[in-house]
Chains A and B, each alone.
Chain A
Amino acid sequence: MTTSEPYVIVGAGHAAGQAATSLRMEGYEGPILLIGEEPYHPYQRPPLSKAYLAGELELERLYVKPPDFYASNNIETRLKTRCLALDRGACQLTLSDSTTVAYDKLLITTGTRVRELPVTGIDLEGVHYLRTIEDVDGIQSGFAPGAHLVVVGGGYIGLEVAAVAQKRGLNVTVVESEDRLLKRVVGEEVSAFFERVHTEEGVKILTGHQVSEFSGGSKIEAVKCANGTEIRADMAVVGIGIVPNQELAQDAGLACDNGILVDACCRTEDPKIFAAGDCTQHPNEVFGRLVRLESVHNALEQAKTAAAAMCGNEKPYNQVPWFWSDQYDLKLQIAGLNQGYDELVVRGQMEERKFAAFYLKDGQLLAVDAVNSVPEYMVSRKLIADRAMIPADRLADTSIPMKQVAQDLK
């Protein structure tokens, strides 16, 4: 059946940019409409807390595809436009400019938004979140050597901001409510490593501190904690997690549970509607459960899978998740998901900032955090996919090259 209604993509982020490209690569020649609330064409977020924040990368280099790519591939874009409602019966979307658009098929790539910190003073000048280009532009305006920066939240984004700011000569304090940094994502030994490195670099780390107020006149002057600690601040960056943008789907009656539920081909329960990226809760065969991931790799791969499915092709997405983070001279590469591990094996020298932490469950490799250790990371990606069982003593033995460790399993 041919129809003149477009394939509509809602949310113009990383997944959307890839999906639009992939639809064309799948051979779909009909109209595509990309709707996004941000003023920019799809761009990459990882540099926002790394090279772009450091001023080492220009805006143009953030784009997933150059802005003129869309027009030249007959992809219509409507930016600065929010999609307010989805009417599945009428196959129609209501937009913030009061218009409606009909879709033949719909792909939801609405991503996530920052988790808000509900404390007094959050609206003060100088208090920022970090998710968009505009957020970074705001942060940079106060990024002067000697300024006092408080980073609220010791997750990857917070720690990357701390690293960039410290290098720039700011006085940086990281405030974390949990008893250790990165608690949600890495084991205790690895948390301790990051705390040590940041401390060595000159960042002040306060774990177990709950921020209760940002104080000041119109502009922030201090961050107050529930235990009475008060920290001088000229600016603050809050990074305490994100929540999936699932309301559009949920309000239209699509099943959601910490993300929009999709199958391995990114299909929702509505045959005309697909979803991809940070906003989805999807099956991961390697780990045998549903997951919601916040990573570029996941956004790109799900976008390719969704585009294929929209064109009637099944390319199920079943890969080992991976992620990276850059802080100072540390190149952290992470593969797999460590939830449920019962053993953590460290290979290499933490003191030398070169090691890998392997997470095992009943002897099976679930995940790795590799710091300046490419072989450990690359080999683990494969071993995790193979659900390999590996003796802990061999993993820990640096006299056996990582390739050999893998080969000897065969």
Chain B
Amino acid sequence: MPKVTYIEFDGTEHQVDVASGLSVMEGAVKNMVPGIDADCGGACACATCHVYVDPEWKDKTGEPNEMETSMLDFAEEVKDNSRLSCQIKMSDDLDGLTVRLPESQH
């Protein structure tokens, strides 16, 4: 199963298995990684699943769609590599993905 490393704002690392087909957000919620609220459960309606994708993974995770881009536009502390983790679908290609969490989701 592909692995994802989530790094909390304070540096705490969580390496977990996330089945292909699940979202990076679901991988965090199912494995008790704190720092991803995901209020809307992945409907791209809340922007509380914001992460920073490590630069070397930016291409592989693809481009956000229009809805995600405009949601991100209103999140806090947005950077070039910001994504909504509910919109990144896991696959074998993403094995080893590292994402960092922002200080807060609100």
Q: Please list the residues of chain A having a beta carbon within 8 angstroms of any beta carbon in chain B.
A: 25, 44, 46-47, 50, 61, 65-66, 69, 296-297, 300, 322, 324, 326, 331, 333, 372, 374-375, 378-379
Contact = CB atoms under 8 A, between A and B. Distances in A.
A372 B39 CA distance: 19
A256 to B, nearest CB: 27
Contacts of B44: 331
28 contacts: A25-B34, A46-B40, A46-B41, A46-B43, A61-B22, A61-B26, A65-B29, A65-B30, A65-B32, A296-B39, A297-B39, A300-B37, A300-B39, A322-B46, A324-B40, A324-B43, A324-B45, A326-B43, A331-B45, A333-B45, A374-B71, A374-B73, A375-B74, A378-B47, A378-B70, A378-B73, A378-B74, A379-B74
Given A296-B40, A324-B40, A69 B32 contact: yes
B30 A331 contact: no
B44 to A, nearest CB: 8
A294 to B, nearest CB: 15
B40 A375 contact: no
A46 B105 CA distance: 21
Interface of B: 22, 26, 29-30, 32, 34, 37, 39-41, 43-47, 67, 70-71, 73-74
A375 B70 contact: yes
B30 A374 contact: no
B79 to A, nearest CB: 18
Contacts of B40: 46, 296, 324
B39 A374 contact: no
Contacts of A65: 29-30, 32
Contacts of B41: 44, 46-47, 296
A25 B35 CA distance: 12
